[in-house]
Amino acid sequence: MSDDRLLRIHSAEFQSMAERVLRATELTSRLNVLPFEDEEGKSALFRQILGKPLPPRVTIYPPFYTDHGFRLDLAERVFINQNCTFLDYAGIRLGERVMVGPKATFITVGHPVDPEERRGWLSGGPIDVAENVWIGAGATILPGVSIGRDAVVAAGAVVADDVPPASLVTGSKATVHRRW
């Protein structure tokens, strides 16, 4: 799925996605109740969730949530703190040495703004996070965003636009843009 592509909710592709969401939810619920020191159990569940083993020196502290898993691409030395959510159907890539604070949320799919289209379609785009980025606690990264190398996303920030390399982005204030 890309920024300019919509997925019809009542379609075979959507049904396949929905089945994967149920499986990923089952797997993450099992992961999130394992004893913290059960490295072997966590490793086996991450292999099922992601469809491959975790890359070397990746650290993920549960609880961890994903709706798909197969489209979450983690490079080496990524750190993901507790209670993060990755809605990765359209794809999420985290480059080397990315650090993600607790309760961060990455969302690659959504619904059109138009009320007539909202219940019939999903829209979205992949998220790409370059090397050595720090995502602060409680940040939300929205569909189609790219975050440049060495950037910092402040705690609580809502990121709806691309972030240039080596920059700091802040802010979460909601603003009315239009009414219908």
Catalytic positions are: 111
Instruction: Report d(CA 62, CA 42) in Å as an integer.
Output: 9
Gap between the Cα atoms of 15 and 31, Å rounded: 24
Q: Identify residue 50 by its one-letter amino acid code.
A: L
Is the separation of the CB atoms in 109 and 89 below 8 Å? yes
Let me know: does 91 contact 109? Beta carbons within 8 Å: no
Q: Give how far Cα 70 sits from Cα of 67, 104, 128, Å.
A: 9, 19, 15
